Chain A
Amino acid sequence: MNIPSQITTLLAGIVLTLVSFWYGQNHDLLPISASVESIRIDSLFNLMMTIGTGIFLLVIGVLVYSAFKFRRQPGDDSDGPPVHGNIPLEILWTAIPAIMVLGISILSFDIYNDNGGADPMDHSMAHGKASHQMATMPGSAMAGTLMAQADPNQQKAAEVNQDPTTAAIREDLPQKKDAPTLGTVSPKIGGAEPGAPEFVVNVAGMQYAWLFTYPGTEVVAGELHVPINQKVLVNITANDVIHAFWVPQFRLKQDAVPGRQTEVRFTANRLGEYPLICAELCGAYHGAMNTKVVVESAEDVQKWIQSQQVASAEGLSKAVATTPATMTETEYLAPYAKEVGISADTLKQLHSDHHSMS
């Protein structure tokens, strides 16, 4: 057997390590990072990239080296050495990967928790601010008593729907409850910064648009505006099929599931416009179901909301004048459709499809 001398092996090892470390930091694969949550996720990826590059180079190195070094000589029909295996070596390459994946698991767990992952208290706490905002709204007292015995998911649904604008755009679906053994049915992701959210937005996914409502403002918009450096909570659900709320620059994704209230929390830390993408196949126009999230100063967000209120006042008064109950969904959604950039025809077609099938 031909083993390279100790020195060559050592040198190869050092080069491999250096290249892995260099590439792990300079792979240029990640998009811009625009949220506090993404910082640690990126460092996790860099670490995995470093280890991955090392393993990849090791395997490819062995294969390429063998292909040249151990090629059979013409005319040599004899067998190689009878090497059948070696328990110490097996233990070595069982233990090292095991330690690596356990390390990555622990780190991932840690980052997940840091990003607001597994804190059971969060679920109820998160709405403190939101309910406070809505306390002045009619009907909240009754909803409050209902909420007392309800389940987190149903409670959240009731709470979110206290905002009449939100309730108007959301399909009224039976809400799941938490199962004793399976745990919460309304998972969430994100929220690296502790404490109650400072800015709440509700969103409903539907074929093929996201409709955002800003509680207490009567604004319905097709895009998400959030203030920079504030803890943002986005309450997500879907009206028809499953969608997924994804902002690559935030490194956060959460499915929007009909009948469940999920949420994403983040603190955006970079001004700009980023794509907001539906990441779960939702039908023919899935590829077109994207919009943008605008990270701007708190004042700019307020200004934008005011401009939206002026614009939607018209649509809303129309809606009040003609009782919503007698309107079809298409008619009711038409004013918002303009907002989200779908033509009224598309909307009509989509909804007639939707109704004829369900």
Chain B
Amino acid sequence: MTQAAEFQEQANLPAHGTEPDKGDWRKYFGFSTDHKVIGIQYLVTTFIFYLVGGVLATMVRTELATPESDFVSREVYNSLFTVHATVMIFLWIVPAGTGGFGNYLIPLMIGARDMAFPRLNAIAFWIIPPAGILLMSSFLVGAPGSGWTSYPPLSLMNGKPGELIWILSVLLLGTSSILAAVNFIVTIFKMRIPGMGLNQMPLFCWAMLATSFLALIATPVLAGAMILLSFDLMVGTNFFNPTGGGDPIVYQHMFWFYSHPAVYIMILPVFGMISEIVSVHSRKPIFGYKAIAYSSIAICGLGLIVWAHHMFTSGTPPWLRMFFMITSMIIAVPTGIKVFSWLATIWGGKLRLESPLLFAMGFISLFVIGGISGVMVASVPWDIHVHDTYFIVAHLHYVLFGGSVFGLYAAFYHWFPKMTGRMLNETWGKIHFALSYVGFNLAFMPMHKLGIEGMNRRIAEYDPKFASLNLLCTIGAYLLAISTLPFLVNVCWSWVYGEKASDNPWRGLTLEWMTTSPPPVENFEADPVLATGPYDYGMGSRATEVDVPFSDASDPALSAGPSSTLRAKPDPAVAVSPSDRVGESHNR
């Protein structure tokens, strides 16, 4: 029986690249304007920073293995967690998800030859290494130690050079993020192949569109806060210094206006990638394409009006507390739609339980815990108890590590063959998954209890009654640190000696699989086409009945099969299935 992937590949033979990229390693060290080179530059650079951030995290956990402050000085401890958070957010998850995978995949997925502004793209990348090195160099002059939130007046009193370096590197990284966002928005709107309407884009493109809007709107406000903070720090103005009549709460508002959406900037691209991976590896269409696509947009919109839930215990008046509680709660709804849709996609599929899907399913299970604790902390009375405690530390790591990082790993395993032309070793992938899953839960699950019981965050020393749980967390953290090694070895070895990958090893339908692995310099020989929709696994005509409650193939609103209104349709001009050749082609 012929499968959807074969139809899509046949229809795209004219577009298929003829010559895989030679892969001269030197181009990765230069100012290349090829989006694929830039994407890999992003991924490698950010992964190095991830390792740096991981070392810092391991040091933090070493300090916390015992109740006393005995491993490093208290000042250094504060710097460790400050720089750890800054690195993980600004130098790993944000640039890896958007800059790395976004750059590599978006043009391929929409059938373009490159991003809309290739040189701007390269500039956005080349801001990152100097900004990262700048941040690291702060350890030479006394690293910033006011937390990644850098709340004044504390941040104005700790060491000035470190704080100034922190501000500068955040400004640089913010600029890079804005430039990348401009590029993605224009690329996605303007460079899709003829025949690909917005509702036919892969879900990762939707996610990147939502992410880019968030980055575009929210990041500048952080820049504004940084400008004012640097004036307070260097010139002695009093914007945020209460001694001179300034207001530290204004900083908190400006900071969180960016930093809450930043969470969505970190998780939305991963949502998009999980949608791709879950569908391909379950051999089933994504369940509720449009519901998932539009929920990304809903999260983007709502994400901009929830920021003050980080300030329920600071100078926030009652009506603001209530408003932000309700908006924060509502965000759980579009997020829930995604989670349930992924589960429905997996349900009844033919699961290829290899590393990409393992990490994707691990992602779902861990993200759900982060989501549930997220709803809890959105509730004002509960948040007032657990705000600034280890409960929050647990929550944010379940979202950003169990969520974003597990998702990024899934993406690495899924797209590595496309990027390098070689397969990753599956056994080592499974070992990597098992170690990180166990290590992660060991490290972060007990923190929920610690926080509720009364352990506040950002402390170098704590009540001895918390000692045993903390030791458990530290052991988990070490396991998590070790779990990176199989991945590193696997990637380095497979990149050079790995089994050669075919052009479409997972038999996916999205357009990045319709060219060589790795793709040639300009991706395609001609514009690729959507002979099938991006998720038409199992094919079938519009009359196909499927076994789903309430389903009726004759009514598009009720149908769960190919006639469903929620489906991403192929281009009618070239569709394989005659029943899909109705209606007008979009974007032509």
Flag if B283 contacts A101 (CB, 8 Å). Answer: no
Would you list which residues of chain B between 367 and 393 have a CB under 8 Å from chain A? 368-369, 372-373, 375-376, 379-382, 384-385, 387-389
What are 26 A-B pairs at a CB distance below 8 A? A31-B452, A44-B382, A45-B382, A63-B346, A66-B349, A70-B350, A72-B353, A79-B538, A82-B284, A83-B546, A83-B561, A85-B286, A86-B560, A90-B337, A108-B325, A108-B380, A109-B380, A112-B318, A115-B381, A118-B318, A187-B317, A251-B381, A253-B313, A260-B249, A287-B460, A357-B156
CB distance from A173 to the nearest CB of B (A): 5
B343 partner residues in chain A, CB cutoff 8 A? 59, 62-63, 66
Asked, given contacts A105-B325, A176-B247, whether A89 binds B548 with beta carbons under 8 Å apart, the answer is yes
Would you list which residues of chain B between 124 and 160 have a CB under 8 Å from chain A? 145-147, 151, 153-154, 156-158
A255 partner residues in chain B, CB cutoff 8 A? 313-315
User: How large, as a class, is the contact surface on chain A?
Assistant: 35 or more
A93-B335 Cα distance, complex, nearest whole Å: 11
Asked, given contacts A79-B3, A82-B537, whether A242 binds B314 with beta carbons under 8 Å apart, the answer is yes
CB of B481 within 8 Å of the partner chain: no
With beta carbons under 8 angstroms apart, the residue of A73, A83, A105 that contacts B287 is A83
With beta carbons under 8 angstroms apart, the residue of A1, A31, A183, A262 that contacts B348 is A1
Binding stretch for chain A, among B36-44, B164-172, B417-425, B562-570? B562-570
CB of B458 within 8 Å of the partner chain: yes
Closest 10 CB pairs of A and B: A287-B459, A183-B317, A248-B454, A85-B288, A82-B538, A85-B566, A259-B242, A118-B318, A258-B242, A86-B560
Flag if A183 contacts B320 (CB, 8 Å). Answer: yes
With beta carbons under 8 angstroms apart, the residue of B248, B381, B448 that contacts A29 is B448
CB of A196 within 8 Å of the partner chain: no
A82-B286 Cα distance, complex, nearest whole Å: 9
Flag if B458 contacts A281 (CB, 8 Å). Answer: yes
Flag if B382 contacts A80 (CB, 8 Å). Answer: no
CB of B467 within 8 Å of the partner chain: no
Flag if A78 contacts B1 (CB, 8 Å). Answer: yes
A108-B346 Cα distance, complex, nearest whole Å: 35
Asked, given contacts A66-B347, A84-B287, A187-B318, whether A240 binds B4 with beta carbons under 8 Å apart, the answer is no
CB of B364 within 8 Å of the partner chain: yes
Binding stretch for chain A, among B203-211, B520-528, B550-558? B550-558
CB distance from A106 to the nearest CB of B (A): 9
CB distance from A163 to the nearest CB of B (A): 21
A158-B15 Cα distance, complex, nearest whole Å: 77
A358-B232 Cα distance, complex, nearest whole Å: 11
A29-B153 Cα distance, complex, nearest whole Å: 34
As a 0/1 sequence over residues 180 to 205 of chain A, the CB contacts with chain B under 8 angstroms (1 = contact) are 00111111010000000000000000
With beta carbons under 8 angstroms apart, the residue of B243, B289, B364, B372 that contacts A52 is B372
With beta carbons under 8 angstroms apart, the residue of A81, A89, A182, A189 that contacts B550 is A89
CB distance from A253 to the nearest CB of B (A): 5
Flag if A282 contacts B154 (CB, 8 Å). Answer: yes
Q: How many A-B residue pairs have CB under 8 A?
A: 355
Binding stretch for chain A, among B99-107, B326-334, B407-415, B510-518? B326-334
As a 0/1 sequence over residues 231 to 249 of chain B, the CB contacts with chain A under 8 angstroms (1 = contact) are 0000000000011110111
> For residue A255, which residue of chain B has the nearest CB?
B314
> For residue B154, which residue of chain A has the nearest CB?
A241
A248 partner residues in chain B, CB cutoff 8 A? 385, 452-454
CB distance from B363 to the nearest CB of A (A): 10
Asked, given contacts A79-B539, A189-B313, whether A104 binds B329 with beta carbons under 8 Å apart, the answer is yes
Question: Which B positions have Cβ atoms within 8 angstroms of A?
Answer: 1, 3-4, 69, 73-75, 78, 145-147, 151, 153-154, 156-158, 242-245, 247-249, 282-291, 313-322, 325-326, 329-330, 332-333, 336-337, 339-341, 343-344, 346-353, 361, 364-365, 368-369, 372-373, 375-376, 379-382, 384-385, 387-389, 448-449, 452-454, 456-463, 507, 535-540, 544, 546-551, 557-562, 564-567
B457 partner residues in chain A, CB cutoff 8 A? 281
CB distance from B292 to the nearest CB of A (A): 9
Flag if A187 contacts B1 (CB, 8 Å). Answer: no
A259-B238 Cα distance, complex, nearest whole Å: 13
B286 partner residues in chain A, CB cutoff 8 A? 84-85
As a 0/1 sequence over residues 278 to 296 of chain A, the CB contacts with chain B under 8 angstroms (1 = contact) are 1111111111100000000
CB distance from A205 to the nearest CB of B (A): 12
CB of A141 within 8 Å of the partner chain: no
A255-B448 Cα distance, complex, nearest whole Å: 22
> For residue A118, which residue of chain B has the nearest CB?
B318
Asked, given contacts A70-B349, A104-B329, A252-B384, whether A118 binds B322 with beta carbons under 8 Å apart, the answer is yes
CB distance from A150 to the nearest CB of B (A): 16
Flag if B347 contacts A240 (CB, 8 Å). Answer: no
With beta carbons under 8 angstroms apart, the residue of B291, B365, B380 that contacts A85 is B291
B369 partner residues in chain A, CB cutoff 8 A? 56
Flag if B538 contacts A183 (CB, 8 Å). Answer: no
A240-B157 Cα distance, complex, nearest whole Å: 9
A94-B288 Cα distance, complex, nearest whole Å: 12
A77 partner residues in chain B, CB cutoff 8 A? 3, 507
A124-B134 Cα distance, complex, nearest whole Å: 51
Flag if A1 contacts B288 (CB, 8 Å). Answer: no
> For residue A287, which residue of chain B has the nearest CB?
B459
Asked, given contacts A67-B351, A90-B291, whether A109 binds B315 with beta carbons under 8 Å apart, the answer is no
A86 partner residues in chain B, CB cutoff 8 A? 287-288, 548-551, 558-560, 564, 566
Flag if A90 contacts B566 (CB, 8 Å). Answer: yes
Flag if B289 contacts A84 (CB, 8 Å). Answer: yes
A72 partner residues in chain B, CB cutoff 8 A? 283, 350-353
A67-B320 Cα distance, complex, nearest whole Å: 44
A44-B78 Cα distance, complex, nearest whole Å: 34
Would you list which residues of chain A between 242 and 282 have a CB under 8 Å from chain B? 242, 244, 246, 248-249, 251-255, 257-260, 262, 275, 277-282
> For residue B350, which residue of chain A has the nearest CB?
A72
Flag if A81 contacts B547 (CB, 8 Å). Answer: yes
A60-B341 Cα distance, complex, nearest whole Å: 14
With beta carbons under 8 angstroms apart, the residue of B151, B332, B352 that contacts A242 is B151
B461 partner residues in chain A, CB cutoff 8 A? 287-288
A109-B321 Cα distance, complex, nearest whole Å: 9
With beta carbons under 8 angstroms apart, the residue of B332, B376, B388, B564 that contacts A84 is B564
CB of A147 within 8 Å of the partner chain: no
With beta carbons under 8 angstroms apart, the residue of A59, A71, A111 that contacts B368 is A59
Flag if A358 contacts B368 (CB, 8 Å). Answer: no
Asked, given contacts A41-B385, A72-B283, A275-B463, whether A358 binds B243 with beta carbons under 8 Å apart, the answer is yes
Flag if A66 contacts B379 (CB, 8 Å). Answer: no
Flag if A85 contacts B317 (CB, 8 Å). Answer: no
With beta carbons under 8 angstroms apart, the residue of A104, A186, A286 that contacts B315 is A186
Flag if B153 contacts A242 (CB, 8 Å). Answer: yes
Flag if A275 contacts B368 (CB, 8 Å). Answer: no
Asked, given contacts A62-B347, A81-B538, A82-B539, whether A1 binds B313 with beta carbons under 8 Å apart, the answer is no
Asked, given contacts A109-B322, A257-B249, whether A252 binds B376 with beta carbons under 8 Å apart, the answer is no
As a 0/1 sequence over residues 51 to 77 of chain A, the CB contacts with chain B under 8 angstroms (1 = contact) are 010011001101100110011110011
CB distance from B370 to the nearest CB of A (A): 11
CB distance from A162 to the nearest CB of B (A): 21
CB distance from A357 to the nearest CB of B (A): 5
Residue among B289, B329, B449 with most chain A CB within 10 A: B329
Flag if A93 contacts B336 (CB, 8 Å). Answer: yes
CB distance from A209 to the nearest CB of B (A): 15
Asked, given contacts A78-B350, A83-B285, whether A285 binds B314 with beta carbons under 8 Å apart, the answer is no
Asked, given contacts A98-B333, A108-B325, whether A85 binds B341 with beta carbons under 8 Å apart, the answer is yes
Besides A84-B287, A284-B78, A284-B145, 14 other A-B contacts (C-beta < 8 A): A1-B348, A41-B382, A59-B365, A63-B361, A78-B283, A79-B283, A104-B329, A105-B379, A115-B381, A187-B317, A189-B313, A242-B151, A283-B158, A287-B459
CB of A341 within 8 Å of the partner chain: no
CB of A117 within 8 Å of the partner chain: yes
A354 partner residues in chain B, CB cutoff 8 A? 157
A260 partner residues in chain B, CB cutoff 8 A? 249, 315
